[in-house]
Each structure stands twice: as structure tokens, then as C-alpha cells.
Structure 1
Amino acid sequence: MGKTDSAEFTAFAEFERSGWARRGDTYDSGFGAMTAGLHGRLLDAAGVGRGSSVLEVGCGSGRLAATALDRGAVVTATDAVPEMVEVAARALPGTRVLQAALPGLPPELLAGSYDAAVGAFVINHVPDPAGAVAELARAVRPGGLVALSCWDTLDRNRAQGIFFDAVRAVGALPPADLPGTSPFAPYASPDAFATLLREAGLTAVTVHQVTWTHRVTPDQWWQDVLSGTVLTSSLIEGQTPAIIAKIRAEYDHLTAEFREGTQAALPVAALLAVGTRVA
């Protein structure tokens, strides 16, 4: 399931890294704030508390690591993008923050010493999901936990789904240089996500659907997504100005369903997967 050749791995990884390099200073306050709605539940699932040793992959701007530190955990944070590492290091003084791709973590992080390895939505962006989960299974000690989140379907995750629906409604085509799909796409269901973890050697695997509400003005959310995502923003910004205007008009129409005064109460949905290393 989900096999991708090395050329596709390389192209997808480069697309992601170059895109996130441009988002280092704009991700956190908008889209990053939305993703934080899952952080507490992800750390609960990973058993993170005082004294826990935690490896975070795809740390982005450092929000999840900061929450783990507030719980008294000892955190090593990593990200593949140098610009994100710089942002996270500023936000997490005194914390070890490393540039490291997933998969491809340095051997020192794969010695089976962590109580938990966690990643908030990073699995959606890696070029080799099976290789990534296998590395995280190696990073934790026997009995340690791996906890990962991915986005749920767009019909449930309306905070993002409305953008893709708006593009589809106006008949806009993806730009020619846009990757066709994420390598993680075949795993983006509860059963397939669970299988991914089991095939990495993890046991007692559970996958839960998690929902929350993100409240923001529609104007702000439009800007947050364009400045805080890679695939979605590229899909829209690669259109002509006339088509972008049509997409925006359709977006305004779709957000009306969720309006509460000046804000929109947007449903967000994710899958949260947890597995245990036994040996």
C-alpha cells in the first residue's frame, strides 16, 4: 500500500521543504494556532507528563513542544526545514531543536531511548510514511508510545475542505507543477492509518477521530491558509487573478454556513493514532 518510487519521494520532499521555507514567519499565528486544538489530546495519548522524554518530529514553530515542556517533559524537537528550526529555536530557549528530515533522522535519535515520539500532522507531509513510522518506532524505548495525527476527510474537516470545494466549484485546474497527491493519502483512514503503525512493529494500536472548532473571521482565515499552508496555498495562488477572485467569492459563500456574528465557527477534524513498541 502507498508505494512511491524514489523520484516521486524526492520531488514531493522538495516541494514540501521549499514551500515550508517560505512559511517560517507566517505559519504560527494563523494555521499553526488552528492545529494547536489537537495538541493536548495528542500529548495525553502519548502519556506525556512530568519527566517524560519526548521526541517531536516536524516541530514547525514549536507549539506542540512548548505544550509538552509546560507539562514538565524533556523535549528534543526536529524539523526538516532550516527556517522552521530557527523559528522553533527562538520559541523554545534551552530546548534541543535539530534540523532532521523524517525519514532520515540521525542515528542518535533512533537508539530507543524516548518515552514517546510525537508528530502533529507531519505524517501528511513526509515523502515515505512507512519509513517515517518505522523510524519513530525505533526511537522509543520498549513500552514507549508513538502518537501521530493526520487530517480527516475534507467533508469532516471543513476548515480546509471549503478551500478545495471552492476551487472545484469554479472549475479551476491544479497548476502543472503541483504534486498530484500526498504519499500519505492511501493511509488517511482509520483502518489504513492503524495498519501503517502495525506494519512498523507497533502494537496495541488505536486510531480515534478527533474534532474541534476553530473560530476566526473569514477574511483572516483566507489569509491564514494562504500564508500558512503549502499544498492548499499553491493550488490557489497558481491560478490567474480572475480565477482567484472567483475562488474567493465561492469561499465567502461557503463560509456563510458557519458564520457566528463576525466570525466563522469552522469544524476541524483529525485522526489520532497511537501505538506501543514492545521490543
Structure 2
Amino acid sequence: MKRFLMSGAMALALAAPAYADGHVNGETVLATVNGEAITVGHLIAMRQMLPAEYQTLPDEVLFDGMLEQLIQQQVLAEAAEASDISREMQLGLENERRAFLAAMFMDDVAMAELTEEELQAEYDAIYGDAEPTVEYNAAHILLETEEEAQAIIDQLAEGADFAELAAENSIGPSGPNGGALGWFGAGMMVPEFEEAVFALEVGGVSAPVQTQFGWHVVLLNETREQPLPTLEEVAPELEEELRRARVDARLQELTEAAEIERPEVEIDPAVIRDQALIAE
């Protein structure tokens, strides 16, 4: 129903509002519905809560569309009140008010200005003692048995080409590509495979390595250090984490200061599906 009202209102938005700049404030009345004023302030507050797909519409479209929707909502709200608000409706209003106030308050907490010092401190806490990560470039030949893997190792010791043996013998998907796995870091391969790779010197070939996929012969081609990101590179992520931490800290602070009582009541959680309990 909300989507229907929004779509209908937007379809009626054809002309730009005829209000002169410099003569408008938040209390400027744009329409009255049975004596109830709809103001510029109502439109401003409404625009802030619009879904993202409406935020990019031209101002003149939003203006007329939102004004028309507010008029429609006021007409419908008055009709609902005149027919007596049910208990279900009253509970819904209480929930909506609670959620709206909570969201607006926590948004203010989260979006308060972050200083450069806070960002730098967060960066230092995460990356200050961190070491550059090592990445590995390796290839492997996957076989069904340990004996087959050892036979491959023997051929390599005699001078056979690793890529050719991989193309001819590997049962893994990388076989046709010479067994190449490209670059990877810690945590990207199964533990047994990683352990074997990390123990190799560049150019070294492993002993047979068993994993859930079979038996591997691993060649370490190259290693490189991945430098730590700069503050500028991770600033957006740090900001998000700091803002989330602010919200969590403020919520915990307020919750601890509140007098919260939870009566010991034995209740079936399925009660939340019993619509009859709030019907009148």
C-alpha cells in the first residue's frame, strides 16, 4: 500500500512549485486538510526518509509528489481516526514511533564528526604492529594416490618439466594450465596444502601432500610481500567501524542506565502469531 501511494503521487507530479526563494521557511504552509497544516518542514523530513530510488528524482518531481502523498495520507489518517483506532493500529503506531525515534537518535550518534586524530588512532590500533602479509605463487599436480605423486616427484628430480607433467597427469582443474594456482595468501587454501607451501623455498617441490581432494605435488614459484594499506586507502572502512562502535557504546551506556525489568513469565513463543490477542 505504501508503494502504491508513492507511485500514485509521483505520477501526479507535473509542475514545479510556485514558491519564491527567500519567502519560505519550515513553517510555510503548502496545504491544509480539514484545518491540518502540511508545511515545507513536513516535506523536508519526508524527503530524508525516502527510499534510495526516489532520492535522485528532480526536486520539482519530489516536491509535488511528496505534497500529494502527504495530503492523501492526512485524508486517510483522519478517516481511520474517525472510525476508531483499533488496538492493533495503536500498537503499530507505538512501534513505529519507537523505531523512528531510536533510528534518528542513533543516526545522530553515528554521524557526529570524526576527527583526524580518531581515524589515525584507529589505523594505528589495527595496523600499527602489523607485518606485511606474504603472498605465494604456486603450482600443483593433483593425483589419486601417494605412489603416483611420488612417481611425479621422481620424474621432476630427473629433469622433467613441471607444467608438462601437470598437463599430462593432474586430475585437478588447473592441470591443463600447467597446474598454476596464481597468487594466494594465508587462509585461502586447505590447511595441509598451505602448510606444505609455507615450508618450501622458492623453486622447491614438496613431498606428496594429502588433502581431501587427493595427493598433491606442489611447486613454489615465487613469493611477495603485500604492503600494508595506507590510512587514505582504508579510511572509509575505519570510519564505518568507528561509527558502528559509537552506536554500540552509546546503546550499551543507555541500556545499562535504564531500569529494565523482565517479569518471569512462562510463555510459548508462538504467541506472536496469535492475531486474535490484539483484535477488537
Q: State the TM bucket, normalised to the shorter chain.
A: under 0.3
Compare CA radii of gyration and give the structure with the larger one.
2
What TM-score, normalized to structure 2? Answer: 0.17
Structure with greater contact order relative to length (CA < 8 Å, sep ≥ 6): 1
Q: Which has the higher helix share?
A: 2
TM normalised by structure 1 equals 0.17
Higher strand fraction: Structure 1 or Structure 2?
Answer: 1
